[in-house]
Structure 1
Amino acid sequence: MRIKKFLPLAILLIFTGCGIWTDFTTFFNLYFNTRELYYQVDEEISKLPKDPFQLKEPEITGTIKTNLIKIQEKASKILQHEAESSYFDNALFISGWAFYYNGDYIKANRKFQELASLGTEEYDLISRLWIGKCELQMRNFEKGLKIVEEVRDSALVREDEEVLNDAYKIIISYHIDREEFETAISEGEKYIEISEDDKFSALVLYQIGLLHLKFNNQEEAASAFASVLDYSPDFETAFNSQFELAKLKRELGQIDESRDMLNSLYNEGKYSSFWGDVYYEIGMIEYSAENYERAFNIFTDVNSLYASSKGAIKANLMLGEIMRNVYADYDSAKVYYDKVKGNNVDQELKETAEIYSQSITSYIKFKSDIQQSSRQIMYILEPQEFFRDSLAYNRFLVQSGAVKNDQKIDQPFGTDTTNTNVTTPTDTAAISDTTSTLAAADSVISTTPIFSVDDFDDDYILEIKPIFPTVGIDSLESKIAKDYFALGNLFFSDLMRPDSAYYYYDLLLKDYPETKYKPRVMFALATYFETKGNKEQSDSLYLEVYNEYKTHPLANESAKKLNKPLLFTDSDPAQTKYLIAESQIEEGELDSALVILKNISHEHPESIFKPKSLYTIGWIYENKINQPDSAAVYYSVLVDEYRNSDYAKAVNPKVNNYKAEQQRIENEKKKAEEDAKQQELDPQPETQKEILDEDTQVINEQIINSPVNLEEPTDTTQTKND
């Protein structure tokens, strides 16, 4: 922002009046240093990262803040002691300006009000414009906007182009901040019609193009971007408009034109600082054309050649997408996603990468759990397999040097004798089935001969410690079914691979046709067929859920899909409880409401009000009590158990972000623990045969003496997922 200019010093010295001498001494004693520091800080503020049409002022650095305080002090001395100086109004403006950028809008407003009261022509519009800016920053929007609009109109009449540009920038910024995008576009178009400043008109036109994209008005946006070069854009605006136009042409299917524009930008030496972003978009053209190998190579080049560019970060994300979506190589995909997670350049890209990384971590865990449960079933049916795996794990310990020379492995491998987390089942049919199964397993174990190490003389190595199960086959199969269902949900909603989701849903129904997850799986399959456009198959499955599982919460979700009446009934006791909880929320009795809602979720697992109760509990913790961790717990249960409900869909993004952050914290903690353990290790060589011989008897005793429960522990996850 300009400040008033003065005559050169040589001319001033011709005059000898007191006023001139006062100006002379003031200039050299105070004002010169104040003005130079003002110019310096103003330049530094202009370089802070900020969108040209961002209403909120940028965060200032510590250095700038310190210098602003110095400016305030220097300007204050002029205002206190040099009131008769010709520099008084300049000092008054600089003082208000310093308070403004230091965030003290009340004091800034006072200074500009005082400046306006002087009635100088030089500062008439400028002081009023800054008063309007202060009011807007203090969120007095109506008052502030009115002042700025009045200044705009006056500037237009007086043909003050600088103030006119500033006023329109503030007005457009205000409407963007209030998400009044159509009004912002209209104001921008009005400015272009009356302006003679081709440089600022180009910037406004580029912003209009971006605003049209918010409405997905691609043709209008393309027209705006293409018109920017008809004016006199600065270097950055010229590039950005052509870059956005090239991207837009790809989205509009104009692939050849898009490729030509991007290649032209890439070959322009003056745009070398943007080459990483341009080359990334060339890779996106190949990806859109399903030339995945070519796209992969381009993204890899972006990552290596332009590592510091934003394009490199986005390239890593796309490399992860290709490994996930095209090659189903989830381990490699996670490596690329984790690279994006480590950057602090773009929060949106970081959050996307964290969500996918967390999903892949969940996928790996579910697969590992299924493998472990399947293996544990084998241990019950064929105990010699547990013996063989234990020896294989011992070999691994010896070969890896994890066992010291004088260490004896006297703890039975795989048996956790301290596990007391066993409860009795409530399903008597399950008890009966489990008892007969385990009795047969017990018979096998009791008649199995003692094994010796010589019976398993091979090179089989196992890096994961085998664990002999303390629950029955039924519980293990129930856990496998739960993990199949979780994998299906993961692929359908998070990893977005519906065909893989179908595989696990179908596998679940084939292997465990009587699973309690059946209505959920049927609903999920109906959704799958709906996304595939197979309405007949999807409606058939929705109808089966609606007719056969009338008390299940998904029955009403099916009713919505089929346009059938909802199944709310007076016979559902949870309905009355929920209405009472709602009334207590309205009265501010949050603790009582939480007790009732939690009772619904525990005591009425089949009620259609359970998902609604879980959602409401989370909502109370998030919005009323300010306990986000507690809210995340209940939202997570809601998503896990009722993934396809409207309530779950509403909170799913929050759950993903929360889980990603928790995983990051856990990874950092685990790495710290691993580093500490590594420092403590002092591996000593010891012969493999010696250790295996000494532990053979111990492992045999473990198999025979391992407790086999005749009652299956209650699997609470089954109850939750009914």
Structure 2
Amino acid sequence: MYRFSIWILLSVLLLISCSAYLNTFYNAEIAFKEANEAHKKQMRDSPDSLLAPSAEIAAKYEKVIEKSIKVLETFNKKKKWHDDALFLMARAYYYKKDMTKAIRRLNELQQNFPSSPFIPQSYLYMAKAYIEDGNLNKAEEIIEMILQKYPAMDAKQEVSLLLVDIAIKRGGSSQAILLLEKAYKSAKTETKRMELILKLAELYIEMKQYSKAILLLEKTPRIKDLPEQSYRIDRALLDCYMEIDSLQKALTLSDAMKSKKSYENHKEEILFKKAMVLSRLGRYDEAIDILRDLTINIDSSNVASDTSQIRARALYELALLYQKKKNDMENADKYFSLSSRSIDTLSREISKKRISALERLNKLREGKDSLDGPLVSRKYKIAELFKYELDVPDSAYYHYLELTKDSTADSEFVSRAISAAAFVARDELKDTLRADSLFKLLISRFPATELAKDAQKQLGVKVTIKTRQDSAYEAFCRAEDLLYKNGDVKGAVQAYYNVYRNYPDLPIAPKSLFVAAWLSDDKLEKNKTAKMLYERICEKYPESEYCKEQAEQKIQIVEDTLKALEARRKNEETFQKRPKAKKNKAVNDSLEQKKEDVFDGKEKMEDQDSLSMDEAEGESGKGEN
């Protein structure tokens, strides 16, 4: 009796332990099923891509992982069920897009449980994980092994089609097409054939071979029992029509799609695409009506939770139509504000920028901020806002031209406005005649400028304009020739200095001044002259790299050298008492002074036709053109 009671007790404990294990694993399986079904629904529009799960779905996958780890750690004696937990955990990591951990758990399963029934599927998930992780060679190696060792797994071409994904990721579109065509010929079901046609069409679209995609999609039959695949085919065809500007066909197709009951789940997307077609056709009011119907009941206090991706995009497109086509800034601001709080990341960020640009536009028009400068400056900034931030090229063009008519505007603003208007006319408005006319106007009104030189390049004519920058560069090159070809260091120093003197406002000026200083310091050993030139760099161009990175340090070195020389001279005076020595010292001092006679601001260079630097500073004008 006692033994029987012990046996009953042990059986009950075992049953409780087993039940606890099964309950934990069962909960993990249920959580995975719920997460995966929701994830597949999220990926419905892109079934061939592994999209990152939403935060809610990711939390469910994390719950699967936690319960699977509990099975492994708490019920370690039940190893015959550990492979279940490992495989479940690996799939949760895979769909959560944590490929490193997924691969590690799959490896653990394969090494510790080689006889597990999950081994073939584990290799398939491992290949997919390597593809997602970018390790295409390893993925290809595993796929080839599966096809040889487990050929039955490719009955539905699930394995071999992974080679298509690898070919596409490697940029081998032609190879991918050959593989898809081969797979299509051997496909046994209508479902598989439609999936392959979609893959082929999407590949053609990615390659911008729209005519091939259209031919393929138009002849593919729509099957009543396969509404999702049929919808994806029609949607791809609609996108192709829009890409080639076959807008009437696109409109007809969108109406046909809207009337199909089997496409009811996609009604919002169909209406959105129809609105985009109408907008492209210039039927803006009809497009606005559709977009407003799509967004009419959105809760403005909780936009992110009350919008789908389609409705979020509808808010943004509606704002654009009001801004760019209807010039209704009040409604534009309203819908940009809603879009800036929507679920669609791209629309949200762009809308925030548009709101900021509209606020900036109002401030510039009011002219209340003194930092914006005079009226001319504000006009130019308004034109720039329309061009770069509000994406309204015709308004940008108008404001640029208005600026050119302003008699109070200086030449810099006017020349820049003409150039900008020319580029807008050519690149945005596609009006080459207007653009060429403006480029010619720029050349005639502002010759010898960089903008006029660029205008000649844009017109495709021979560049004959010589700017001050060109003249400065040529003068710098002549100085280099004196130094490197002729070995005339003194002449080169004067030539470099003249570049600075004649073109003090150009970027080449501090560079030229530094070279003159360095040559005086390093080659001619004229310490006073070098110090004066180094100091002038920092006086005239304190923010330049030649001051901050070079001259400031050089000044200290030269000053130390001059102090050392002065100390040496005084020592010599102390010990040289004889009259002869004093005479020799006077001679030496005279020679030393003569070494400093080129640029010390007191005498001219040996070449009497050259100007000394201080004299050059007093010259008026900026030199040659």
TM bin (shorter chain): 0.5 to 0.7
Of residues 90, 100, 123, the one that matches 1:128 is 123
User: What's the CA shift for 1:41?
Assistant: 0.8
State the match for 2:333 in structure 1. Answer: 334
2:296 aligned counterpart, secondary structure: helix
Distance in 2 (alpha carbons) for counterparts of 1:211 and 1:172: 10
After superposition, give the CA deviation of every residue in 1:188-219 in whole Å (9 maximum; x if it has no partner).
33332323243244234324333332333222
User: What's the CA shift for 1:187?
Assistant: 3.9
Of residues 34, 38, 43, the one that matches 1:47 is 38
Distance in 2 (alpha carbons) for counterparts of 1:99 and 1:497: 46
Of residues 59, 63, 66, the one that matches 2:60 is 63
State the match for 2:601 in structure 1. Answer: none
Q: Which amino acid aligns with 2:70?
A: E
State the match for 1:359 in structure 2. Answer: 357
Go from structure 1 to structure 2 and tell me whether the alpha carbon gap of 1:207 and 1:511 turns closer, same or farther (over 3 Å shift).
same
Go from structure 1 to structure 2 and tell me whether the alpha carbon gap of 1:535 and 1:268 turns closer, same or farther (over 3 Å shift).
closer
Go from structure 1 to structure 2 and tell me whether the alpha carbon gap of 1:479 and 1:207 turns closer, same or farther (over 3 Å shift).
farther
**1:286-325 alignment to 2 at 5 Å?**
286-304=278-296, 308-325=307-324
- Are 2:102 and 1:105 equivalent residues in the alignment? yes
Go from structure 1 to structure 2 and tell me whether the alpha carbon gap of 1:300 and 1:518 turns closer, same or farther (over 3 Å shift).
same
Q: Which structure ranks higher in relative contact order (CA pairs < 8 Å, sequence separation ≥ 6)?
A: 1
Runs of 5+ consecutive residues of structure 2 not aligned to the other structure? 1-13, 299-305, 478-502, 511-625
User: What's the CA shift for 1:65?
Assistant: 0.8
- Are 2:25 and 1:34 equivalent residues in the alignment? yes
2:258 aligned counterpart, secondary structure: helix
Of residues 137, 140, 143, the one that matches 2:135 is 140
**1:638-653 alignment to 2 at 5 Å?**
none
User: What's the CA shift for 1:495?
Assistant: 3.3
User: What's the CA shift for 1:108?
Assistant: 1.2
State the match for 1:707 in structure 2. Answer: none
Go from structure 1 to structure 2 and tell me whether the alpha carbon gap of 1:362 and 1:233 turns closer, same or farther (over 3 Å shift).
farther
Contact 1:551 1:606 in 2 (8 A): no
Contact 1:132 1:147 in 2 (8 A): yes
Q: Which amino acid aligns with 2:415?
A: P
Distance in 1 (alpha carbons) for counterparts of 2:123 and 2:195: 25
Runs of 5+ consecutive residues of structure 1 not aligned to the other structure? 1-22, 374-468, 470-474, 577-602, 611-722
Contact 1:316 1:336 in 2 (8 A): yes
Contact 2:173 2:203 in 1 (8 A): yes
**1:557-596 alignment to 2 at 5 Å?**
557-558=454-455, 560-563=457-460, 564=462, 569=470, 571-572=472-473
Contact 1:199 1:232 in 2 (8 A): no
Distance in 2 (alpha carbons) for counterparts of 1:46 and 1:557: 60
State the match for 1:72 in structure 2. Answer: 69
State the match for 2:377 in structure 1. Answer: 482
After superposition, give the CA deviation of every residue in 1:111-145 in whole Å (9 maximum; x if it has no partner).
24326743x6x555323323333444554332123
Q: Which amino acid aligns with 1:332?
A: N
Contact 1:363 1:490 in 2 (8 A): yes
Distance in 2 (alpha carbons) for counterparts of 1:153 and 1:367: 72
- Which of these two proteins has the greater Rg computed from alpha carbons? 2
2:202 aligned counterpart, secondary structure: helix
Normalised by the length of structure 2, the TM-score is: 0.60
Go from structure 1 to structure 2 and tell me whether the alpha carbon gap of 1:300 and 1:35 turns closer, same or farther (over 3 Å shift).
closer
State the match for 1:437 in structure 2. Answer: none
- Are 2:58 and 1:161 equivalent residues in the alignment? no
Distance in 1 (alpha carbons) for counterparts of 2:509 and 2:197: 52
User: What's the CA shift for 1:367?
Assistant: 1.1
State the match for 2:435 in structure 1. Answer: 538
User: What's the CA shift for 1:543?
Assistant: 5.3
Q: Which amino acid aligns with 2:374?
A: K
User: What's the CA shift for 1:334?
Assistant: 1.9
Contact 1:488 1:504 in 2 (8 A): yes
After superposition, give the CA deviation of every residue in 1:212-247 in whole Å (9 maximum; x if it has no partner).
323332223334444564568744333232233234
User: What's the CA shift for 1:480?
Assistant: 0.7
Distance in 2 (alpha carbons) for counterparts of 1:175 and 1:604: 59
State the match for 1:523 in structure 2. Answer: 419
User: What's the CA shift for 1:496?
Assistant: 3.8
Distance in 1 (alpha carbons) for counterparts of 2:508 and 2:325: 39
**1:222-621 alignment to 2 at 5 Å?**
222-226=214-218, 229=221, 234-304=226-296, 308-344=307-343, 346-369=344-367, 479-512=374-407, 513-531=409-427, 535=432, 538-539=435-436, 541-542=438-439, 545=442, 554=451, 557-558=454-455, 560-563=457-460, 564=462, 569=470, 571-572=472-473
User: What's the CA shift for 1:508?
Assistant: 1.6
Q: Which amino acid aligns with 1:54?
A: S
Contact 2:106 2:122 in 1 (8 A): no
User: What's the CA shift for 1:361?
Assistant: 2.4
State the match for 1:627 in structure 2. Answer: none
Distance in 1 (alpha carbons) for counterparts of 2:423 and 2:240: 32
Q: Which amino acid aligns with 2:387?
A: F
User: What's the CA shift for 1:305?
Assistant: 6.3
State the match for 1:208 in structure 2. Answer: 200
Distance in 2 (alpha carbons) for counterparts of 1:132 and 1:150: 10
After superposition, give the CA deviation of every residue in 1:557-577 in whole Å (9 maximum; x if it has no partner).
43542445697748359999x
Distance in 1 (alpha carbons) for counterparts of 2:475 and 2:231: 61
How many pairs are equivalent?
A: 451
Go from structure 1 to structure 2 and tell me whether the alpha carbon gap of 1:309 and 1:66 turns closer, same or farther (over 3 Å shift).
closer
CA RMSD, Structure 1 to Structure 2 (Å): 4.3
User: What's the CA shift for 1:523?
Assistant: 0.8
User: What's the CA shift for 1:301?
Assistant: 2.0
Percent of matched pairs sharing the same residue = 17
Contact 1:105 1:138 in 2 (8 A): no
Q: Which amino acid aligns with 2:340?
A: K
Normalised by the length of structure 1, the TM-score is: 0.53
Distance in 1 (alpha carbons) for counterparts of 2:191 and 2:53: 23
Distance in 2 (alpha carbons) for counterparts of 1:42 and 1:295: 41
Go from structure 1 to structure 2 and tell me whether the alpha carbon gap of 1:536 and 1:220 turns closer, same or farther (over 3 Å shift).
closer
User: What's the CA shift for 1:555?
Assistant: 5.2
After superposition, give the CA deviation of every residue in 1:441-500 in whole Å (9 maximum; x if it has no partner).
xxxxxxxxxxxxxxxxxxxxxxxxxxxx9xxxxx99x61111111222233344344333
